[in-house]
């Protein structure tokens, strides 16, 4: 029978190797706790059941619902971008993974927060994420060489970023107009000849009614440290592989504290829902065109989950501007931004202009010889 990892009584969430006593970390390739020194591996006991919480009941409970993300968790705050990152010793934080500045503040005990219900463990190892980043970078012809230095320095950190997911039943009451097209023949003269054409018109009719929809697991990133356009491109997440939250999944990795609170996340969810409901209303009105005058939506059976989803993040400063890179820790998908080398662009423009000038000269010589 395989021996379970020993628990450090003074540091409850440090997972000690039963063979050599070293700190075990979650290995993305194995999907287990693993010792980096003697290669001992251990399964993490966590089922796939992730409970929903009642939204309004939770808000009423307030501070009674808050607790640390993990016992013995430490956190640092970046004074430059405001990101707060949790980690478990002996893991450290020496630079900000979101803006690239050096963190000089002393770590402190993690503040209470809404603890996660679920975690989606890393399945892409760091070396694979770095290889994917290098391939992504090589396809960027005009990236300056300084950015390639970042890739060679392997400055991609494994971080769990916070998400809210919301479920809700909606009932929406609307008023608007339905437009049905019809055509009339119109006669006109052109160059002395009588011609005809079909002209489209629209008959408008008042419409009102109601539509319903159930929204399930709408994901709202609870971080402001990463550009939303890049986070969205990392989707979809395979939430069917969620595990119930266990601090062991965070061992050897960092986790960001949510910057968008639960109620603000719900307002963002409603903006997404409104767009979907608007299309439902147009479909319900029917016709060839629709005018939507008013929509009133009631939200019921609202539940939420707080999840931690895995990414690799890196930040690079170039000409006093921050360029960020993110890699999906489940699929290896790379998204990010990078500066342009205007010298390389200038060289390409020069080559193109020189080629055009050469072609023009050749054509002129050919024309003159005829």
In a domain, 279, yes or no: yes
Instruction: Tell which residue, 67, 86, 69, 73, has the closest CA to residue 11.
Output: 73
Residue 147: pLDDT band with limits 50, 70, 90: low
In a domain, 191, yes or no: no
- 37-61 confidence digits (pLDDT tens): 998 999 998 877 888 999 999 988 8
152 or 42, greater pLDDT: 42
pTM over 0.85: no
Euclidean distance between CA atoms 350 and 346, whole angstroms: 6
CA 281 to chain centre: 29
In a domain, 68, yes or no: yes
| Residue 369 confidence (pLDDT) above 90 | no
Q: Is the sign of the CA dihedral 245, 247, 249, 255 positive or negative?
A: positive
Query: Do 256 and 355 lie in a common domain?
Result: no
Residue 198: pLDDT band with limits 50, 70, 90: very high
3 or 191, greater pLDDT: 191
Residue 220: pLDDT band with limits 50, 70, 90: very high
Query: What's the pLDDT at 300?
Result: 96
Query: Do 369 and 246 lie in a common domain?
Result: no
Residue 106: pLDDT band with limits 50, 70, 90: low
In a domain, 247, yes or no: yes
Query: What's the pLDDT at 70?
Result: 65
Query: What's the pLDDT at 82?
Result: 79
Query: Do 108 and 62 lie in a common domain?
Result: yes
Beta strands 118-119 and 243-244: pairing type? antiparallel
Average pLDDT of span 247-258 = 89
Domain count, the chain: 3
Query: What's the pLDDT at 311?
Result: 95
In a domain, 136, yes or no: yes
50-64, 73-87, 208-222, 247-261: least confident range: 73-87
Instruction: Tell which residue, 88, 90, 93, has the closest CA to residue 71.
Output: 88
CA 184 to chain centre: 51
Query: Do 30 and 130 lie in a common domain?
Result: no
pLDDT above 70 as % of the chain: 76
- 119-145 confidence digits (pLDDT tens): 999 999 999 998 888 888 776 554 555
Characterize 313-330 residue by residue with b for buried, 16 or more Cβ atoms within 10 angstroms of its Cβ, and e for exposed: bbbbebeeebbbbbbbbb
Which stretch of DSSP H or E encloses residue 127?
A: helix 126-138
What DSSP character marks residue 29?
Answer: T
Query: Do 56 and 148 lie in a common domain?
Result: yes
Which range is most confident: 84-98, 151-165, 293-307?
Answer: 293-307
154 torsion bin: left (phi>0), alpha (psi -120 to 50), beta (else)? left
| Residue 289 confidence (pLDDT) above 80 | yes
Query: What's the pLDDT at 152?
Result: 46
Euclidean distance between CA atoms 338 and 133, whole angstroms: 12
Query: Do 219 and 235 lie in a common domain?
Result: yes
Query: What's the pLDDT at 12?
Result: 38
Average pLDDT of span 21-38 = 91
| Residue 307 confidence (pLDDT) above 70 | yes
| Residue 298 confidence (pLDDT) above 90 | yes
Query: What's the pLDDT at 225?
Result: 87
| Residue 274 confidence (pLDDT) above 60 | yes
Tokens standing for 76?
């640092």
Which range is most confident: 12-16, 83-87, 152-156, 271-275?
Answer: 271-275
Query: Do 69 and 133 lie in a common domain?
Result: yes
In a domain, 156, yes or no: yes
287 or 361, greater pLDDT: 287
Q: Which domain holds residue 30?
A: 1-45
348 or 298, greater pLDDT: 298
Query: Do 346 and 280 lie in a common domain?
Result: no
Query: What's the pLDDT at 5?
Result: 46
Query: Do 219 and 127 lie in a common domain?
Result: yes
Strand, helix or coil at 323?
strand
In a domain, 186, yes or no: no
Query: Do 86 and 156 lie in a common domain?
Result: yes
- 51-89 confidence digits (pLDDT tens): 899 999 998 887 666 666 666 667 788 877 778 887 765
pLDDT above 90 as % of the chain: 44
Query: Do 291 and 346 lie in a common domain?
Result: no
Query: What's the pLDDT at 367?
Result: 66
Query: Do 265 and 299 lie in a common domain?
Result: yes
In a domain, 20, yes or no: yes
Tokens standing for 126?
């760091």
Cα distances (angstroms) measured from residue 345 to each of 144, 162, 279, 322: 10, 38, 43, 21
Average pLDDT of span 355-360 = 73
């Amino acid at each position: 029978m395989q021996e379970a990892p020993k628990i450090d009584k003074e540091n409850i969430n440090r997972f000690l190797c039963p063979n050599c006593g070293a700190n075990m970390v979650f290995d993305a390739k194995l999907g287990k706790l693993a010792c980096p020194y003697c290669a001992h591996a251990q399964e993490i006991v966590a089922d796939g059941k992730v409970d929903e919480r009642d939204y309004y009941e939770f808000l009423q409970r307030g501070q009674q619902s808050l607790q640390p993300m993990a016992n013995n968790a430490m956190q640092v705050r970046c004074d430059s971008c405001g990101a707060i990152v949790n980690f478990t010793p002996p893991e450290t934080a020496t630079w900000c993974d979101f803006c690239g500045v050096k963190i000089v503040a002393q770590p402190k005990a993690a503040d209470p927060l809404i603890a996660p219900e679920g975690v989606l463990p890393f399945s892409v190892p760091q070396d694979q994420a770095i290889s994917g980043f290098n391939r992504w970078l090589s396809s960027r012809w005009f990236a300056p060489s300084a950015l390639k230095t970042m890739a060679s320095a392997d400055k991609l950190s494994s971080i769990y970023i916070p998400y809210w997911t919301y479920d809700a039943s909606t009932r929406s009451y609307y008023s608007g107009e339905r437009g049905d097209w019809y055509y009339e023949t119109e006669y006109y003269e052109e160059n002395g000849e009588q011609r005809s054409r079909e002209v489209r018109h629209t008959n408008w009719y008042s419409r009102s009614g109601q539509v319903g929809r159930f929204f399930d697991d709408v994901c709202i990133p609870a971080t402001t440290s990463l550009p939303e356009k890049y986070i969205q491109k990392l989707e979809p997440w395979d939430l069917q592989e969620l595990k119930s939250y266990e601090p062991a999944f965070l061992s050897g990795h960092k986790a960001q504290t949510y910057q968008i609170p639960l109620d603000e996340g719900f307002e963002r969810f409603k903006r997404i829902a409104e767009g979907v409901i608007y299309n439902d209303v147009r479909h319900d009105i029917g016709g060839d065109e629709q005018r939507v005058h008013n929509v009133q939506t009631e939200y019921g059976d609202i539940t939420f989950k707080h999840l931690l989803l895995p990414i690799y993040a890196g930040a690079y400063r170039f000409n006093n501007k921050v360029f960020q890179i993110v890699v999906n820790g489940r699929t290896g998908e790379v998204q990010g931004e990078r500066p342009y080398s205007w010298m390389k662009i200038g060289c390409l423009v020069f080559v193109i202009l020189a080629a055009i000038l050469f072609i023009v000269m050749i054509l002129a010589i050919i024309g003159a010889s005829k």
